[in-house]
Structure 1
Amino acid sequence: MLVSYLMIVLDISIVITALPKIETGLRFSHTGLSWVSNAYTLAFGGMLLLGARAGDIFGRRRMLMTGLTLFSFASLAIGVAQSPAWLISARAIQGIGASILAPSTLALLSVTFHDPRERTRALSYYGATAGVGSTIGLVLGGVFADWLSWRVGFFINLPIGLALMLGAKHYLPETVRHSGELDIVGAASSTIGMTLLVYGIVHSATYGWTDATTTASLVASVALLSFFVINEWRAKQPILPLRLFASLERSVAYGTRMLFVGASVGFYFFATQYLQGVLDYTPLEAGVAFLPTTIANFAAAMSIPWLTRRLGNGGLLALALLLSVIGMVMLSDASAHTSYWFHVALPMALIGAGQGGTLSPLTVAGVANVDPKDAGAASGLVNVAHQLGGSLGLGILIVAFDAAGASIHSDAKTLLAARVSAAFTAAAVMQILALLLVLLLVYQFRRDAVSRRLTSTST
């Protein structure tokens, strides 16, 4: 289950380091390059709820194997892509495969471990897989892009996927199937609505907010997403049961995850361009330069069970987010003359520690006190918040990136550094908002605890 999820995470990060090579090799525009990530994450996030619901109905092992098949062969199609349209289309299909695969892995973990301590440990490994896998993928992406070809990073998914399919068939038991129907209308309206929202935001970076296409995309996205909410409210078997938001803890977890992941995706996307475009690192050197993030991420992720017992889930989240905010603020000071060790490596280590200490507690909070019949939907919603948060956040940061260059007339490196700095500043703001949400939750929990204690004493 963890290796299946690791393949998804590695694929996302392998692409990041290879982006400059993909841009020149297939002649992408700078704005168009963001769709190498967005086509995948939008299809991934938009279809996740449908994929999670399909696991409840058809069996999670069966859907895991279906997702592995689609993901692996779409990776092969990406590896042989000859044009931007070809690559982006294959990335979208790969995202659909991931949308079937990812909720199956988390749902299988959630229903397999019933003891709270075992479940926390399993989910901490799941969070560690997300954090550490992403940074390992950056190094691998650099190795492939520098020594072989960026295409190799996609080709290797096919043999790994085939091995995982054989493993799933022999070692994973099938889960109980539940009767029901697939909410196709809800899946289509949410996916198209989010795609139009991100497209409108990214399009505005080049053509402005008053452009007719930008306006039409945003208006259509609001209409479709509003229809989606109404449909989920009235549907007999919705892909997103709105009762999942009845818990303040889960609602805060979803919102925090969107903000945090949006900033984190921007960190990887723009740090890669900064290292290669401003500091003149090769793809391999850029991948190795992310090692402070990897090491700190791994150390924090492995310490989560111990830290949770001492700080609680909310306290750990607040501390991890604070570290990440500090690192992002430091990184926003990047310039064309920045030294690596203090101005890049140290902030990266803080950001890595923040990522390692944030993702697992957010996963635990996102599935907290969920009814077993909603396990698939809740796990799907965790991944939806992750993927759509990444797409939406990157779209917003692209706007900040482009806006910063409008008033700067200088050499290419100075201009790129200023734009990256603006993107990191916007990412820091997103993480501050995430921290404020968590502090609100911690305050509410402590207030409820005091109220219960007073009631008990009075009784």
Structure 2
Amino acid sequence: MTSLLAESRSVRTQAATAYRSHNYGIYIVLLAQLMLVLDSAVMNVGLPHIQADLHMSTGGLSWVLNGYALTFGGLLLLGGRLGDVFGRLRVFWWGLAAFTLFSLVGGLAPNAEMLIAARALQGAGAAIAAPSVLALLTTSAPNEHARNRALSQFTAVSAGGAGLGLLLGGALTDLASWRWTLFINIPIGLAVLATVRRYVTETPRRPGKFDFIGALTATGGAATVVWTVIKAQDYGWASAHTIGGFVLAALLFTILGYTESRHPHPLLRLSLLKDRRRVAALVTMSGAYGSMMAIFFLLVLFFEGTLKFGPMTAGLAFLPMPVTIFVLSRIVPKLVERYGQTPLILIGAAGRVLSFALLLGLHDTTNYWGVVGPLWIMAIASGLSFMPLTSLALKGVEPEHAGAASGLLQTMQQLGGAIGFAVIASVYATFGKVGDFTAGGHPGFIAALVIGLISLASALTLIRWPSRTPALAVD
């Protein structure tokens, strides 16, 4: 009897240890994800200081952000497939190591050229690591409840991290230097690299012929889209340069589709796009990210230009957003289990549209409290919908293809964000006047509203309408 009790206690102890180890692994991987997301926003409020310190032109300054966005958005599909083939933990480790190394290089950069190169290589490291984060979280969950909880934490970090990045970037720039927006990655990156192998289990490798043509066309197509929308602000949306860029991207994606349908081990499994609900989730997520860029771009201009906030105060002004999203991440998994994904996705899409409609009421005499309401609505909409969207996009994906599916989802997010930012920034530049935020701000919010409506329209296709076919009478 005593031996049975001792054995039972031993089993419970082992189970508790395994549970704690699994949770530690989740938190370590999420810390890395937070670092990757922060870096896409953390430098925004410090751009004027970078420009003054390194004597950069306005065009060159934009590449501090665009260089990161170009390689990050362009290489995500490749990063996802590399994780599936060579092991997700291994690929995550090397991608994060590259990201951490080039954070140091960027922080030490003596000139604009080295900073831009370091940011581009940072983006490449992030693109290699990021798809494996989501794949590791979803494939290591022991059951659906644990999977939903991990996805909720992931989306809270991803959505709330951008707002937190503005706060952290403002604090570091005000209290130290813009260089610390890069140096801050080094201790975090080293801590993750030192501990992740202890608490996260490697996934099986999937040997097979590597799809080089798929890798080249997917990377080239995604990078071409990002490059084209970035440069559209300079050349114009109807210019031969912009139209040619989109034609080239379409050609590369056509070659990708042809190649993937015939390759035994494709970079992107076309079967992932045969699920109507997954495609709707991807389009909705892309539109959500695109419209949200207005919050970070236009409101930073409003806070610093109209309200005369400094970098740290401007970052603090966004605090309601990450706080709300992190709080909601605790309850959204339970809401999904009770009501399903579609209602929450619809509420989120409608909430974003309402937020932009309210922001159209901004004028030059509006104070900060006039912005808090729309900002909170946007936060609630994002907090409620991003986890269900992510869950729906990955639903039914075989574990061996989780990396490719994660790369596809994050590519759509990045492309949506890049296109949304380019459209909104172009509209603002076209109509903007010095000293008058509303001249360019209102058209910018209208553009964001249109993108939000496209996202809402895609979300509406998720509704399962009752069949109109009359039932046959049964004798």
| Structure 2 length-normalised TM | 0.88
Q: Which amino acid aligns with 2:412?
A: A
Check 1:432–1:363 CA distance in 2 against 1; reply closer, same or farther (3 A cut).
same
Is 1:134 aligned with 2:154? no
Secondary structure of residue in 1 paired with 2:201: coil
Residues 157, 326 of structure 2: 8 Å contact kept? no
Q: Which amino acid aligns with 2:454?
A: L
Separation of aligned partners in 2, 1:26 and 1:229: 43
Secondary structure of residue in 1 paired with 2:321: helix
Q: How far is 1:388 from its partner?
A: 1.8
Aligned to 2:348: 320
Question: Larger deviation: 164-173 or 219-228?
Answer: 219-228
C-alpha RMSD of the superposition: 2.4
Is 1:293 aligned with 2:321? yes
Check 1:227–1:319 CA distance in 2 against 1; reply closer, same or farther (3 A cut).
same
Residues 50, 184 of structure 1: 8 Å contact kept? no
- Note the 1:16-415 alignment, pairs <5 A: 16-30=44-58, 32-342=60-370, 344-405=371-432, 412-414=434-436
Is 1:447 aligned with 2:466? yes
Q: How far is 1:30 from its partner?
A: 4.5
Listed one character per residue, the Cα deviations across residues 159-192 of structure 1 (whole Å, up to 9, x for unaligned) are 2111101111222111111112332322322333
Q: How far is 1:210 from its partner?
A: 5.0
Separation of aligned partners in 2, 1:186 and 1:317: 32
Question: Larger deviation: 151-160 or 80-89?
Answer: 80-89
Rg: which structure is higher? 2
Check 1:136–1:202 CA distance in 2 against 1; reply closer, same or farther (3 A cut).
closer
Residues 77, 219 of structure 2: 8 Å contact kept? no
Question: Larger deviation: 176-185 or 79-88?
Answer: 79-88
Q: How far is 1:212 from its partner?
A: 4.4
Residues 50, 183 of structure 1: 8 Å contact kept? no
Residues 70, 227 of structure 2: 8 Å contact kept? no
Residues 267, 427 of structure 1: 8 Å contact kept? no
Check 1:153–1:364 CA distance in 2 against 1; reply closer, same or farther (3 A cut).
same
Separation of aligned partners in 2, 1:236 and 1:263: 37
Residues 167, 318 of structure 2: 8 Å contact kept? yes
Separation of aligned partners in 1, 2:420 and 2:317: 23
Is 1:432 aligned with 2:449? no
Check 1:225–1:36 CA distance in 2 against 1; reply closer, same or farther (3 A cut).
farther
Separation of aligned partners in 2, 1:28 and 1:350: 37
Bigger helix fraction: 1
Listed one character per residue, the Cα deviations across residues 353-390 of structure 1 (whole Å, up to 9, x for unaligned) are 11111211111011011122221111111111112221
Question: Larger deviation: 22-31 or 423-432?
Answer: 22-31
Separation of aligned partners in 2, 1:285 and 1:172: 38
Secondary structure of residue in 1 paired with 2:424: helix
Q: Which amino acid aligns with 2:466?
A: R
Separation of aligned partners in 2, 1:208 and 1:302: 44
Residues 226, 415 of structure 2: 8 Å contact kept? no
Separation of aligned partners in 1, 2:284 and 2:238: 30
Check 1:436–1:205 CA distance in 2 against 1; reply closer, same or farther (3 A cut).
same
Check 1:385–1:400 CA distance in 2 against 1; reply closer, same or farther (3 A cut).
same
Residues 198, 395 of structure 1: 8 Å contact kept? no
Residues 54, 182 of structure 1: 8 Å contact kept? no
Separation of aligned partners in 1, 2:47 and 2:331: 32
Separation of aligned partners in 2, 1:348 and 1:25: 32
Q: How far is 1:211 from its partner?
A: 4.0
Q: How far is 1:28 from its partner?
A: 4.5
Separation of aligned partners in 2, 1:181 and 1:392: 33
Secondary structure of residue in 2 paired with 1:441: coil
Check 1:209–1:309 CA distance in 2 against 1; reply closer, same or farther (3 A cut).
closer
Separation of aligned partners in 2, 1:333 and 1:122: 38
Check 1:333–1:144 CA distance in 2 against 1; reply closer, same or farther (3 A cut).
same
Check 1:201–1:11 CA distance in 2 against 1; reply closer, same or farther (3 A cut).
closer
Q: Which amino acid aligns with 1:388?
A: L
Question: Larger deviation: 312-321 or 327-336?
Answer: 327-336
Residues 35, 88 of structure 1: 8 Å contact kept? yes
Q: How many residue pairs align between the two structures?
A: 447
Separation of aligned partners in 1, 2:367 and 2:90: 50
Q: Which amino acid aligns with 1:302?
A: R
Residues 160, 325 of structure 2: 8 Å contact kept? yes
Residues 66, 230 of structure 2: 8 Å contact kept? no
Check 1:36–1:354 CA distance in 2 against 1; reply closer, same or farther (3 A cut).
farther
Unaligned runs of 5+ in 1: none
Q: How far is 1:426 from its partner?
A: 0.9
